[in-house]
Chain A
């Protein structure tokens, strides 16, 4: 792992556990829709994810 990856990992680790969970899930959502030039409904999906992560 290089310095940049280390630095990024540290930044993610310093976030609250809920934020860390949200980051990972948002990333997966975005990756799944990446091939679309204008993904529809993704904000609503993130909203559902947030509500699931922070109850």
Chain B
């Protein structure tokens, strides 16, 4: 998918017709739009998502008000006012156009009357210029080109992209992975086979004896309980997350209040350290548990080795076991007829017989080797056991240190809370108390969720047992037997599809993880390694000694990590597309694709160091990149890094009805464009103006 142009008509702030042509040159693949806060950058991002998917990003307020206010007010009675977005793009050699329109008529009393409610039309143009409508619903046709489940990875709000590393996004990431690999077909098969099994169960129930009906009832109850438990877990997790978000908002508010600012900043540091401490404790504990499961036996074998060694030694002393003396060595003495003490060893003499006795006691060579090996193993076990104890002790000391530090932090946090309570205004006190209640809620949610998860595991096991019982229950009668067999085959097929889904998902997770690491390494200057875990969590790890430990991430790190993940998804979709050109689909469906990335404010909360790295990495994330930035984000270091890659450049000129506004301009390559100006009337509107690049001006 290669974007060619976007045409906006009376859509939100954008008055009249505005056209943006995108950079399509591979060497200059970036289109950049500068706009002040509130001028329409988020609206432009949403123009894409609305046109293609009839969807909006979370930051898009009042999505029902799509028609430009000025256009509406200027319309005559009975006139239809249309807000529309048209996107022109290329895909697999064809040029497509999608237009979505929303229109209202100004009725006689001035009341708006809906004419078209976000309706879409899609057509393509062939080489001869002939236009024809696509022969599917536009939504279905678009979904085949760019699956809706992937759109938030390619059209996103940079300031919110860090949401990807939050627990609420894990499911979304899992879904995206399945979509990229084209596993929708398998997911659907699983879902539809489930529906088929339900129907077959109904048929079986009609012809089955009461005891089988009872088993089926019990199984159904278990299925319902599993679903209820799963939903209870989700609710509990959501509750915990919501409380955490509220805590964050309270902390942010406290940072702005004069009387609380300093204390809150100290509290933030302590909380961040506390979080790192929590992760460290988790990591030590899991390392301890790994160590116990691997080497724990050493702790209980202490006396065993000592007793075994003692017994062997006694046997050896008694002469029942060979001494560690080489038989060959003694034989050599006898052959040479000379003892190590210099005495002559002649056959049939007392001295010869004495030394020969030593040779016999040296035993046979195999026994000797086994004895030597045994002694070496035993020594190794003793050494490993000592090391195990030493390591255990060190880790417990570490754990105690971290726990003591956590206690200190906790005490200091409590002291700060008391101080806030004492020193602060009423608002500070209220916020502090609310935070404590929320903290309690978070802890309760964590505990409750873990209990529920255990209950869910038990229920799932009971459900599996009941399913087996239902499948193997002997039934009589041809009809019942046939129904039971059909149901068994459907469930078997469903299980096979489920297994395939698991295997393919894991395969793509591993691939994504590899790409994520590559891209992150290019962007970030921090000594961290990202990881996409088996349950689709995006983590950052730091190597401490021989262990990798999770790092408590700041907003900047989260943003960089999320960008790297988006780049990895785009990369994988591209690879899949290239593979699909040469191969048949096999057990997959979606053929991948080459997608642009459109992002609003990707430099929002990054400090200068990160801005530079991210600006350098952005053109590499996808073959075509569109970014919306404000002056404060997009000039200076960002502009310098991006300049060689920018192929098209625009400014959103914003007109505001606010009185006493000082006009603001933006200067790009010595060209000055209006940035903010007074509208001179009661309307606000925005226009998109091209600021040609040096090459276009020559």
Contact = CB atoms under 8 A, between A and B. Distances in A.
Given A15-B496, A19-B489, A43-B199, A34 B589 contact: yes
B680 interface: no
Contact of A11 (B143, B196, B496): B496
Contact of B200 (A5, A15, A18, A50): A50
**Interface range on chain B: under 10, 10 to 19, 20 to 34, or 35 or more?**
35 or more
B65 interface: no
B207 to A, nearest CB: 14
A35 B140 contact: yes
B496 A47 contact: no
Contacts of B393: none
Given A47-B199, A50-B200, A50-B486, A22 B493 contact: yes
Contacts, number: 89
B192 A30 contact: yes
A19 B493 contact: yes
**Interface range on chain A: under 10, 10 to 19, 20 to 34, or 35 or more?**
20 to 34
A7 B503 contact: yes
A35 B499 CA distance: 24
B503 A43 contact: no
B185 A4 contact: no
Main secondary structure of the interface of B (DSSP, over half): helix
B501 to A, nearest CB: 10
B500 A46 contact: no
Nearest to A8: B500
A34 B504 CA distance: 19
Given A19-B496, A23-B497, A46 B140 contact: no
A5 B503 CA distance: 9
A2 to B, nearest CB: 9
B499 A11 contact: yes
B318 interface: no
A54 B485 contact: yes
B196 A8 contact: no
Contacts of A50: 196, 200, 486, 489-490
Contacts of B486: 50-51, 54
Contact of A46 (B139, B184, B193, B586): B193
Contact of A54 (B192, B193, B489, B586): B489
A39 B504 CA distance: 24
B500 A30 contact: no
B575 to A, nearest CB: 14
A11 B196 CA distance: 22
B492 A16 contact: yes
B192 A43 contact: yes
| The 3 residue pairs across chains A and B that have the minimum distance between CB atoms | A43-B195, A19-B492, A46-B196
Interface of A: 4-5, 7-8, 11-12, 15-16, 18-19, 22-23, 26-27, 30-31, 34-37, 39, 42-43, 46-47, 50-51, 53-55
